[in-house]
């Protein structure tokens, strides 16, 4: 039986950034439910995991876009699961390098380094944004395949807030949406909340365009502009399926750079010690923040080592994950942090120009052709839409 652990607060870490967003418990006051133009689901799992998204698309009467890759996620199987009342586009995204996306400097900065990220999640989300432009969809909802929405009203309220906000997150309940290090912090008594994430996020696509860089916490970067947080709200609740964050220690290792950069930038947004956004490109700021982060991980690690026998089921795996994060942390320096933030600022401008140059075709077949670079193999896709 697990024992109760006293709540721990630390000066090295902000356990919540929720105050940065406007929170609406019941959606916009006196407002009507908003329309959703499409639901976009990036997935690497078997299409059986899409049942909640399919139900939601049916109830909202909006198209469902599923973006597939890897062994178990087959768009042709997803197409077979779609009921007759759901309009859908199921796409095998293939090689991300073939997609009609800019050559991001943030990717180049990390290329051929231990920090290069091999997942295609950011590419799928960016393709979702481009597809929205091509199909003239103004309001889309990104939904992960392990997220369950309680009711269509939750999503409709989020969509209604897009009249005034660039993005509206839904509070993720059930299993907490945290990084591995923050999971360990919470499980050892740390004061830890979860912030808005791409797993359940309604976005307005026509103004103040942003993109998802290929790094852990890519959704936190999507929510930023070049001087502050974009207009952001939170409403409703969704539920994330539980998983074991400590089942592979390399997860914590691979998250560390994204955790450092995102937490470092959001620390500035919190207004800590009078610092402002300009410090994000100041090497001295990152020298201090990296020291804070190292102290934070070491503090959590000490708490894990002091856990009484039987207090948690996976203490050894938790310790191994924290040690992996600490090992990767030692390879991060202030020059890398500054280079990444500068590259991200340039990429945001590059993306805005790329997005503005994307035509509004409204034809599914024409959109599929446009989503790949000239000369690249065409995508494999299934649809019930013209």
Task: Decide: residue 194, CB within 10 A, 0-12 exposed, 13-18 middle, 19+ buried.
Answer: buried
Where is average pLDDT lowest: 61-65, 170-174, 237-241, 364-368? 170-174
287-316 pLDDT, tens digit each: 999 999 999 999 999 999 998 877 787 899
275 — pLDDT class (breaks 50, 70, 90): low
- Determine the pLDDT at residue 383: 98
Q: How far apart are CA 267 and CA 277, in angstroms?
A: 10
Highest mean pLDDT among 5-14, 170-179, 268-277: 170-179
Look at residue 30 and tell me whether its pLDDT is greater than 90: no
93-143 pLDDT, tens digit each: 999 999 999 999 999 999 999 999 999 999 999 999 999 999 999 999 999
The ranges assigned to domains in the chain are 18-244+348-383
Q: Scanning the structure block, which residue is given the tokens 């199909």? A: 135
Summary mean pLDDT of the chain: 91
Give, rounded to a whole angstrom, the gap between the first and last alpha carbons of the chain: 57
Note whether 73 and 90 are within 8 A (CB).
no
- Determine the pLDDT at residue 3: 45
Q: Which residue spans within the chain are E strands per DSSP?
A: 22-24, 38-43, 64-68, 88-92, 139-143, 147-149, 167-174, 200-204, 232-240, 380-383
Look at residue 2 and tell me whether its pLDDT is greater than 80: no
Question: Was domain 18-244+348-383 assigned CATH 3.90.550?
Answer: yes
Q: Scanning the structure block, which residue is given the tokens 């939750």? A: 154
Q: Scanning the structure block, which residue is given the tokens 């599923």? A: 66
- Determine the pLDDT at residue 161: 95
- Determine the pLDDT at residue 8: 55
For strand 38-43 and strand 64-68, is the pairing parallel, antiparallel, or unpaired? parallel
């Amino acid at each position: 039986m697990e024992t109760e652990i006293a709540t721990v607060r630390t000066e090295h870490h902000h356990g919540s950034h929720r105050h940065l967003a406007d929170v609406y418990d019941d959606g916009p006051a006196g407002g009507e439910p908003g329309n959703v133009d499409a639901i976009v689901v990036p997935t690497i799992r078997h299409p059986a995991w899409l049942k909640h998204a399919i139900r939601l698309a049916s109830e909202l009467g909006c198209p469902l876009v599923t973006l597939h890759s890897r062994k178990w996620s087959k768009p042709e199987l997803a197409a077979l699961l779609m009921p007759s009342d759901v309009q859908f586009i199921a796409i095998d995204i293939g090689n991300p390098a073939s997609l009609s996306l800019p050559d991001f400097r943030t990717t180049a900065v990390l290329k051929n380094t231990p920090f290069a990220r091999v997942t295609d999640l950011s590419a799928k989300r960016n393709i979702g944004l481009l597809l929205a432009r091509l199909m003239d969809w103004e309001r889309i909802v990104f939904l992960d395949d392990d997220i369950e929405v309680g009711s269509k009203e939750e999503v409709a309220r989020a969509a209604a807030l897009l009249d005034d906000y660039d993005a509206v997150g839904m509070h993720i309940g059930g299993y907490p949406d945290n990084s591995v290090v923050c999971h360990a912090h919470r499980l050892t008594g740390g004061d830890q909340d979860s912030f808005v994430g791409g797993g359940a996020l309604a976005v307005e696509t026509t103004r103040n365009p942003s993109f998802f860089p290929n790094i852990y916490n890519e959704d936190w970067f999507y929510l930023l502009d070049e001087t502050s947080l974009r207009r952001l709200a939170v409403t409703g609740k969704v539920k994330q399926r539980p998983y074991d964050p400590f089942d592979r220690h390399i997860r914590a290792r691979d998250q560390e750079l994204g955790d450092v950069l995102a937490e470092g930038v959001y620390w500035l947004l919190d207004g800590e010690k009078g610092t402002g956004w300009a410090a994000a490109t100041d090497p001295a700021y990152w020298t201090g923040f990296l020291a804070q982060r190292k102290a934070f991980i070491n503090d959590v690690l000490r708490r894990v080592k002091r856990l009484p026998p039987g207090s948690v089921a996976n203490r050894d795996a938790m310790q191994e994950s924290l040690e992996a994060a600490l090992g990767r942390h030692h390879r991060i320096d202030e020059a890398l942090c500054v280079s990444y933030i500068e590259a991200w600022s340039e990429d945001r401008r590059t993306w805005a120009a790329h997005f503005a140059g994307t035509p509004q075709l409204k034809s599914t077949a024409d959109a599929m052709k446009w989503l790949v670079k000239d000369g690249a193999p065409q995508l494999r896709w299934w649809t019930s839409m013209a």
